[in-house]
Amino acid sequence: MEDIYITDKLNKFKSRKTSNSNYYNKIKTTDDFKMKNRLNSKLYYEKNKEYINAKNLCNYYIKNDKLEEFMSKHNDKYNILFLNN
Domain-by-domain residue ranges, the chain?
Answer: 2-82
Could you give the CA distance from residue 25 to residue 18 in angstroms, rounded to a whole number?
10
Q: What is the tens place of the pLDDT at every residue in 23-70?
A: 999 998 899 999 999 999 999 999 999 999 999 999 999 999 998 999
Q: What is the tens place of the pLDDT at every residue in 12-35?
A: 999 999 999 999 999 988 999 999
In this prediction the pTM is 0.61
In degrees, rounded to 5, the angle at the alpha carbon of residue 17 between the alpha carbons of residues 12 and 23 is 125
Residue 19 confidence (pLDDT): 94
Could you give the CA distance from residue 5 to residue 67 in angstroms, rounded to a whole number?
51
